[in-house]
């Protein structure tokens, strides 16, 4: 697929959710030509798998009635006519393994809509299917399309039975009316219907270009190769999705909560200031970047500050950034059942002294409950976060061998 020479930034972020074996990365590859699962060896080495991004362009040939003529090609594959560019989109490909739920929750904070990928050759829902749907609802994702993948592996009766399994389960969620599109991502079957559904059900959000620029940091790294001479070193890079405003080369930005340091035996965090030295989108370097897609921000920071994802969970921007908090008061809503376990375990109330893991946008932090009442808890955090009043915070507790989602809270 050709993306052409023009550097167009994606207008919308679309997540891919669902069980690890359902073919999310294969679907994204069918729609973009890019394989997002670039970190397959990381799990074998005990490293957290990263969220993948892939940008793609959607076109429509006016010579056909929908969904025919919806394509990823500039030249219509049906009639050879010239197709019209609809928009550029960015797929946020989340890992589906249950141990990577916190990574998925971080990605959900950046999504404007989602494709939920189910497999026709498996009973629905599997544990991670249920987990991702609940997390998507909790994260505020309202625009969702269900992709019934692997229809090439089953007969018609099983495909219809699986469709009914999916539709019946959706009735228990806010996604009761979500469209279900049968596909074979491996063979790129019915991709025109997927694109048509995306264009109808996942609109580009309205953006305010005059709002103070703000971006959640999802990745941070040192791009200098080992052995680079001092005079050739470049500053550290942070990556993520801009949530509002415009970033421009030359802007001076603030990063909160910043970096950790020790003073007089106490741990503190120091906020950072940096100049934007460069901006990179999927199509290449640009002088300004807006919301949509993954953006790499080259900074004036020492690369040792940004290496190995050390700034993940921070916010970069200027103007009125959220305050830094090392203690949160949450009005909690607990689920009836623990999310992500094969057994449907009941969720017990949160107790004083309990250890929890919290997701706040792209930040993941641990904390201990200092006070627990019926619907309100106070939590002392191990690592501070930037959070606005009324923000949604995912709450996980240790169940068995891992951290499991048990509910969410709103910051008071």
Q: Could you read off the pLDDT of 104-144 as tens digits, one per residue?
A: 566 677 789 999 999 999 999 887 788 788 878 877 889 99
**pLDDT score for 40:** 42
**pLDDT score for 110:** 78
Q: Do the Cβ atoms of 17 and 110 come closer than 8 Å? A: no
Nearest Cα to 129, choosing from 185, 155, 168? 168
> Which residues in the chain show pLDDT less than 50?
1-6, 38-49, 99
Catalogue all structural domains in the chain, each as residue range(s) with its CATH number.
Answer: 12-201 (3.40.50.300), 214-317 (2.40.30.10), 324-411 (2.40.30.10)
Structure tokens at 238: 């942070």
**pLDDT score for 138:** 78
**pLDDT score for 84:** 96
**pLDDT score for 51:** 65
**pLDDT score for 103:** 59
Decide: helix, strand or coil at residue 50.
Answer: coil
Q: Do the Cβ atoms of 391 and 368 come closer than 8 Å? A: no
Give the number of other CB atoms < 10 A from CB of residue 392. Answer: 18
Omega of the bond prior to 67 within 30 degrees of 0, cis? yes
**pLDDT score for 43:** 36
Give me the residues paired with residue 252 across strands. 275
Q: Beta strand 247-248 with 180-182: parallel, antiparallel or unpaired? A: unpaired
Structure tokens at 8: 């167009």
Q: Beta strand 266-281 with 284-286: parallel, antiparallel or unpaired? A: antiparallel
Which distant-in-sequence residues (6+ apart) come within 8 Å of 204 by Cβ? Answer: 11, 12, 87, 112, 292
Burial 50-80 (b: 16+ CB within 10 A, else e): bbbbbbbbbbbbeebeebbbbbbebebeeee
State how far the Cα of 361 lies from the Cα of 106, in Å rounded to an integer.
Answer: 6
Residue 234 phi, psi (nearest 5): -115, 160
Nearest Cα to 39, choosing from 31, 48, 30? 48
């Amino acid at each position: 697929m050709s993306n052409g020479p023009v550097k167009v930034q994606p207008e919308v972020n679309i997540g891919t959710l669902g069980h690890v074996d359902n073919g999310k990365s294969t679907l994204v590859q069918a729609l973009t030509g890019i394989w997002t699962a670039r970190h397959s060896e990381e799990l074998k080495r005990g490293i957290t798998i990263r969220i993948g991004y892939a940008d793609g362009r959607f076109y429509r040939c006016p010579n056909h009635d929908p969904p025919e003529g919806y394509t990823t090609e500039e030249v219509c594959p049906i009639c050879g006519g010239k197709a019209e560019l609809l928009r550029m989109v960015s797929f946020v490909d989340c890992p589906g393994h249950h141990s990577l739920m916190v990574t998925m929750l971080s990605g959900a904070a950046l999504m404007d809509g989602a494709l939920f990928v189910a497999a026709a050759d498996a009973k629905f829902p599997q544990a991670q299917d249920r987990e991702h749907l609940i997390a998507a609802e909790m994260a505020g994702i309202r625009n969702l399309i269900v992709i019934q993948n692997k229809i090439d592996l089953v007969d018609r009766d099983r495909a219809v039975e699986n469709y009914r399994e999916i539709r019946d389960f959706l009735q228990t969620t806010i996604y009761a009316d979500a469209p279900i599109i049968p596909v074979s991502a491996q063979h790129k079957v019915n991709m025109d219907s997927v694109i048509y559904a995306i264009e109808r059900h996942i609109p580009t959000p309205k953006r305010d270009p005059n709002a103070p620029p703000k971006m959640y940091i999802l990745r941070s790294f040192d791009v200098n190769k080992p052995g680079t001479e001092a005079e050739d070193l470049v500053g550290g890079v942070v990556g993520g999705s801009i949530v509002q405003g415009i970033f421009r080369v030359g802007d001076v930005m603030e990063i909160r909560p910043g970096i950790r340091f020790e003073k007089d035996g106490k741990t503190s965090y120091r906020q950072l200031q940096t100049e934007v030295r460069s901006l990179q989108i999927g199509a290449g370097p640009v002088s300004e970047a807006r919301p949509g897609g993954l953006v790499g921000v080259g900074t004036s920071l020492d690369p040792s500050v940004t290496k190995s994802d050390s700034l993940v969970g921070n916010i970069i921007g200027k103007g009125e950034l959220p305050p830094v908090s090392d203690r949160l008061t949450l009005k909690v809503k607990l689920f009836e059942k623990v999310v992500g376990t094969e057994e449907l375990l009941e969720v017990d109330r949160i107790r004083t002294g309990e250890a929890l893991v919290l997701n706040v946008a792209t930040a993941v932090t641990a904390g201990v409950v200092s006070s627990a009442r019926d619907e309100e808890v106070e939590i002392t955090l191990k690592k501070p976060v930037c959070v606005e009043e009324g923000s949604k915070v995912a709450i996980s507790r240790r169940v068995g061998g891992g951290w499991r989602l048990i509910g969410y809270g709103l910051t008071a």
